[in-house]
Structure 1
């Protein structure tokens, strides 16, 4: 069943387009040119003690585009971007778009095999990377179509030496690479020849994590990116007077759209800190008076539990969204008690260019009284969400099934992979692989990933429900639940937790805590503690690593 027609919460939100701009028919270069025209002297990027204005950013992107064009990058060509959260990421992205080329977003944590896979699949001919990542790149590029490697340093554009952010980084262009700053100087004062970019041209290739097979390149078009940049602007009330805090990795779809694209659209300053450190981030919020951010819930858990972070440092950060992983209601409450701000939910995937569902800013997501789950929101503008069964038939309100979504933000397919496109997106409807349900008022609730369901003696257990209960315990900082092989029940429920500083709980206490709150087949029979749970760079807890966790590598909660 689709979303009910009566949605009174949307009456409070303006849904019209800007008077002089039709975002769904625009490219990101159109939006950026409009921003340069309107606010050339406004800060576009703030990076420690450096600030780059809109016009300066445009000039650097022009210069780099000229240099790239002279080295053979043209419309439709692929340029891989292998960088952390540094200004050069934004400069490169704009330069690539000015040429009508395609940016290939690469996780800077990727090693040889992963980097080879992405470069080979995308057919990238140029790679832009940090100097510290060049050793990995050098061993790979000779086996790919890459002919040009451009390096840059995280120390560029700033003079503040903070070991928390930069470690032992040093400047120096490796042999066999060209230096980005030199290329920008070479092209300074020149602009590339204008290219007629279509809204349906691919702007970015973003690769899925590959949890269900090899990574697939989602073809994020200019139309997709522009639409959801506009969504962030209007849905989250992010305007030209705001300051965007870049806590999500820029290579990830959340950082690309929820940080870069919305900041370019307004335009408004984007605050970058190279990599995530709670103390550095809190100082950046206070110094730059950051007002909006989106990140994984683990980011906000880390800030909430850090002794370095003071409440007054976070006072301006009033617009907070989280996506990428379910949020326990108890975590939202604790964050609000600590900092006074509510964390709003967004739900989306790489294939939806970030949000497809969300909690309207200023609203509080309902908690389902039956499951205790916090709603992930309602469909955003022009978006349809459905709950379907295994045969694709729509299910009634309240019944659990797969979330299927369609709208202007859904990508047209996977790069060079028509078979996977047809499987995941029949008739343009994205089958997310996530299981959830919808209530009578049109609010959606995420249950879990289909593949993560545990079958204990024939009873279905969703890890998310057990994790939410564990998060209610005052000692638990993070929790993850997986199925473990059991000779009698087939599978049993195993939990992994990390504890908050200065808190303690033994295994028996946590099992009893869950047993008192859950059906007998659901509560965990084993609880194991780790100092930190394994995560992706975007903050998602890696259940697959926990499933293969060896007994010799773990420490039991009931240790002496």
Structure 2
């Protein structure tokens, strides 16, 4: 913990099971010259932490043990390496208990999947490392592959362009909204992005239009993958095949090495479904968590005979490729019909003026729910509600038609670029309650 944040931690320590605290400071993250001058001029904020039992200082530990840390006995399959909290996009955040083997097995699978790497790959790391997607694809995998990490403190289009061009980045893992924002930026054509050979999109569905445009601009392959916090996170991905012969657009791809997957019926979760039938995606493999921290009931509901029930509605085709239809909790019920937000969003993304969008079920006294779209337009572009509705509704079945469109300058998102539909749904419920 940073010394500046220690007073906050100190207040809750006795309410947790934390046994050891390691303290560091901003100065320790700075180059030596800046650190010296900053300390001299007293311009580096800090907080004096008292020496207490089981409280250690990072620099002192480094000086004491150096390159020969004490030997620690662990059981990789059983011992926890991280309590990785879920994003809480559809409800309360839960602590996934991940073991050493969970994380290492996912990094090894990354190595196996990145066929064609030449060694010394350069990764653009813009995803936060405290998020499981960023931790695995932005840190663990590059370390395992002996690659180079070009790290940005946060996602920004211009900084990303500059980093790719300057450092000749070869691997970029991001979220669909990141690719969409890069494509919509007016300075896109000023930069050379041709060094990027492998791009993976995760955390949310990848619109086919975004995938197609990115590959035209960058030249490398962009494929969709899938994972969740509870599986460290990756379970599926399309092959990184530039010819696109083994890539299926709209699919999350094939299960990763050592990973099993199947589709179970939504109602009971006990009947395995056949090809092209919608059901709940369940997975099993060495990357699957032990359970949720101090949540036995929730753990038992998602972990059944070593299978992880993901809560995502999906289907598998006859060739073993999987397709995410949507989250069970995001399903829109319109007059008894099941409407999947993703299907509508994919069509909205085809509109040339749209930068980012999200579709939710708005409560309705007659239809139960109606599809409502929230749209962020590209800079300098215009569109009306009626124009978006006509564009979408001419391409979807009548019961999937968008009934309302709301334009915004931004949408609520997680730190990895996943739109928080839950927040939008809560806003609509509050409006209804006031009315």
TM-score (ref. length: structure 1): 0.68
Q: 1:366 aligns with which of 238, 248, 264?
A: 248
Match of 2:48 in 1: 175
Instruction: Indicate if the aligned counterparts of 1:388 and 1:402 stay in contact, CA closer than 8 A.
Output: yes
Give the Cα–Cα distance (whole angstroms) in 2 for the partners of residues 426 and 533 of structure 1: 36
Aligned to 2:220: 341
Residue deviations 1:41-82, cap 9 Å, x none?
A: xxxxxxxxxxxxxxxxxxxxxxxxxxxxxxxxxxxxxxxxxx
How far did 1:188 drift? 6.1
1:245-269 CA distance string (max 9 Å, x none)? 1111101111111121112212222
Give 1:279's aligned residue: 158
Provide the secondary structure at the position in 2 that maps to 1:548: helix
What are the superposed Cα offsets for residues 383-431 of structure 1, whole Å, 9 maximum, x if unpaired? 1111110222111111101001111211222223332222101000000
Which shifted more, 474-483 or 341-350? 341-350
Deviations 1:137-159 (A, max 9, x none): 46655654557362433982459
> Which of 360, 371, 381 is equivalent to 1:493?
371
**1:529 aligned partner:** 407
CA contact (8 A) 2:126 2:174 kept: yes
The 1-side partners of 2:32 and 2:70 are apart by 34
Alpha-carbon contact 1:246-1:272 (below 8 Å) kept: yes
Correspondence for 1:49: none
- The match for 1:556 is none
2:307 is matched with 429
2:257 is aligned with 1:378: no
**Local SS of the residue matching 1:482:** strand
- Say whether 1:205 aligns with 2:87: no
2:231 & 2:190 partners in 1: Cα distance?
Answer: 34
> Counterpart of 2:345 in 1: which secondary structure?
helix
Q: How many residues align?
A: 411
TM-score, with structure 2 as normaliser:
0.87
Q: Deviations over 1:303-348 (max 9, x none)?
A: 2222344464422121110111001101111212232233111111
Aligned partner of 1:331 among 201, 210, 220: 210
Over 3 Å counting, the alpha-carbon distance change for 1:135 and 1:533 in structure 2 is farther
Alignment check: 8 A CA contact 1:155 1:171 kept: no
Alignment of 1:50-61 (within 5 A): none
* Residue 478 of structure 1: aligned partner: 356
Alignment match, 1:507: 385
| Counterpart secondary structure, 1:430 | strand
- Return the offset for 1:226: 1.4
Q: Relative to structure 2, which stretch is displaced further, 133-142 or 513-522? A: 133-142
Residue 357 of structure 1 is matched in structure 2 by: 236
Q: CA–CA distance in 1 between the matches of 2:362 and 2:354?
A: 21
- Counterparts of 1:366 and 1:286, CA distance in 2: 29
Out of 381, 389, 400, the residue aligned to residue 278 of structure 2 is 400
Kindly report which structure 2 residues correspond to 1:48-447, keeping only aligned pairs within 5 A, or say none.
128-129=1-2, 131=4, 137=9, 140-141=12-13, 143-144=15-16, 148=21, 150-153=23-26, 156-158=29-31, 171-176=44-49, 182-183=59-60, 186-187=63-64, 189=66, 191-200=68-77, 201-211=79-89, 213-237=91-115, 238=117, 240-310=119-189, 312-362=191-241, 364=244, 365-367=247-249, 374-389=250-265, 390-391=267-268, 392-447=270-325
**RMSD (Å) for aligned C-alpha atoms:** 2.6
Q: Distance in 1 between matches of 2:404 and 2:91?
A: 29
Give unmatched runs, 5+ long, in structure 2.
Answer: 35-42
Return closer, same or farther for 1:476/1:441 CA change in 2, 3 Å cut-off: same
Structure 1: 5+ residue runs without aligned partners?
Answer: 1-127, 162-169, 368-373, 554-560
Q: 1:531 to 1:154 in 2, by over 3 A?
A: farther
Aligned partner of residue 227 in structure 1, secondary structure: helix
Residue equivalent to 2:395? 517
**CA-to-aligned-CA distance 1:137-182 (integer Å, 9 cap, x gap):** 4665565455736243398245999xxxxxxxx6332233799664
User: Is 2:336 aligned against 1:454?
Assistant: no
Distance of 1:440 and 1:513 partners within structure 2: 32
**SS where residue 210 of structure 1 aligns?**
coil
Q: Work out the CA distance in 1 between the residues paired with 2:357 and 2:328.
A: 19
Aligned-partner Cα distance in 2 for 1:481–1:471: 11
Q: CA deviation at 1:224?
A: 1.5
Distance in 2 (alpha carbons) for counterparts of 1:506 and 1:294: 33
1:423-444 Cα deviation digits (max 9, x unpaired): 1010000000000111111111
The aligned residue for residue 33 of structure 1 is: none
